[in-house]
Amino acid sequence: MAYLKVSGTKIVDQNGKEVILRGAGLGGWMNMENFISGYPGCEFQIRAALADVVGKEKSEFFFDKFLEYFFTDADAAFFKSLGLNCIRLPFNYRHFEDDMNPRVLKPEGFKHLDRVIELCAKHGIYTILDLHTAPGGQNTDWHADAGTHIANFWNHKDFQDRIVWLWEELAKHYVNNTWIAGYNPLNEPTDPYQTRIIDVYDRLYETIRKIDPHHALFFDGNTFASDFSKFGDVHKNWENVAYSIHDYSVFGFPAAPEPYTSTETQLHRLRRSYEKKRQWMDERGLCVWNGEWGPVYARKEYEGEKTDAINEERYRVLKDQLSIYNKDRLSWSIWLYKDIGFQGMVYVSRETPYMTLFKDFLAKKHRLAIDAWGADDSQVRDVYQPLVDLIKREVKPEHQNLYPAPVWKLTDRIGRLARNILVSEFLVREWAEHFAGKSEQELDEIAKSFHFESCLHRDGLNKILTDNATLVAQGD
């Protein structure tokens, strides 16, 4: 088997035949996220808090079991059965080095990554390696696992040096693995100056290519993989590179401006948002990969009798996006494969030890809207509105829209800082104390809640993905 490579606008095999990659991201696994598995704040915070509550040994045991159960052979077999052929594997740099011991490789970081790559290969599934979290935080959000809204990765050369070093180590390790479709060196960068990102990508390209001339690279656009407008002619320096957009639609989220009914105006907005993200590539005949996209879904414990109607509307958004993608023969990776019931193709049953243990805590999280992703702030909006009003009253209008505006509106920024960083920080210890006094056997059972056999399937979503994977395949 030979490596896949990028040729013009396409990904092709060794015979030059087009290969359209269709799949999902394994979010919440080697880069945990609050809305995916039900904790507050950032991964580094809950790992430290759990070690404080149950001790380092038990904490490491729990998280290792979590990683083991989250994706097994049963998951790979199910994924393949849907007709999908590629999984994006997000990971946190902390699996491979410690902040207090930088540039010293932790070989144990490869344990689960190697295991899942091998499981996927066994079932004929390609993988794309995604560095989802970089030292200092490469973007302004929770999933950069930095605990702040300042993307300090761009402000300190040493942070940048460290991911160059890490990709050197990763390239050494994976250079001969042809089931890896490619490397996604940095997830959703937010460089406010729009120039440092080019310098970092140049360094990553040169470093990886010295070791691994074979694997394709997938470079995200700036500002959460939405903006290539300042990339200029840099593509002329790079070969075997695709360019990654993240094509989320506002219509797939609780903050949608209106009910989605596939009107001509709404369809135009879907298409225009997508075309704007890929414009730079289309003008230059470059390959586009949609590395993340997809709606979130209502849950009966929160949305009640409205749940089914809301989800049918979200499926309509999904279908309309796929119709656009199919016409362009687009490779895509929907977000995401597994979670606790908000967006995943499969999700942890409410009857499992983890979900019963955290039932009341999850309800509190939802009520307080401390997760940014798909937040419903209706129960606390009145608390924060005076702060919004204060800033609007006291700050000049031209100073209110700070980067990453317009992706972040003023209310988004206040929500990120006040709810998602400040309030969530106060709940970290409470999350960890749910584990107090648990034996290793009990910790194992809690972690096992994320095993495939403990999950339910979002059949409506999975059928749509299967139908469209087949449609694309028939066009080959």
Q: What is the pLDDT of residue 1?
A: 85
Sign, CA torsion 187/191/194/197: negative
Report angle CA 34, 417, 162 to the nearest 5 degrees. Answer: 65
Catalytic residue among 292, 303, 305, 351: 292
Q: What is the pLDDT of residue 473?
A: 44
Catalytic residue among 33, 43, 188, 313: 188
Q: What is the pLDDT of residue 474?
A: 47
**Alpha-carbon span 148 to 418, nearest angstrom:** 11
Pair of tokens at residue 220: 């995200």
**Alpha-carbon span 59 to 431, nearest angstrom:** 13
Binning the chain into helix, strand and coil, the percentages to the nearest 5 are: 50, 15, 35
411 sits in which H/E element: helix 410-415
The verdict on whether 430 is a catalytic residue reads no
Q: In the sheet where 346-348 sits, what is the strand order?
A: 338-339, 346-348, 455-457
Residue entry with tokens 């902390």: 94
Q: What is the pLDDT of residue 472?
A: 60
CB-CB contact of 40 with 424 (8 Å) = yes
Q: What is the pLDDT of residue 475?
A: 44
User: For the whole prediction, is pTM greater than 0.95?
Assistant: yes
Name the phi and psi angles at 274, rounded to 5.
Answer: -65, -45
Residue 227's SS3 state is strand
Contacts of 291 (CB under 8 A, 6+ apart): 25, 88, 128, 130, 184, 218, 220, 225, 244, 245, 246, 332, 333
The one-digit pLDDT tens for each residue of the chain (476 residues) are: 899 999 999 999 999 999 999 999 999 999 999 999 999 999 999 999 999 999 999 999 999 999 999 999 999 999 999 999 999 999 999 999 999 999 999 999 999 999 999 999 999 999 999 999 999 999 999 999 999 999 999 999 999 999 999 999 999 999 999 999 999 999 999 999 999 999 999 999 999 999 999 999 999 999 999 999 999 999 999 999 999 999 999 999 999 999 999 999 999 999 999 999 999 999 999 999 999 999 999 999 999 999 999 999 999 999 999 999 999 999 999 999 999 999 999 999 999 999 999 999 999 999 999 999 999 999 999 999 999 999 999 999 999 999 999 999 999 999 999 999 999 999 999 999 999 999 999 999 999 999 999 999 999 999 999 999 977 644 44
Pair of tokens at residue 430: 């409470």
CA 446, distance to chain mean position in Å, is 24
The verdict on whether 292 is a catalytic residue reads yes
Instruction: Answer left, alpha or beta for residue 8, where phi above 0 means left and psi between -120 and 50 means alpha.
Output: left
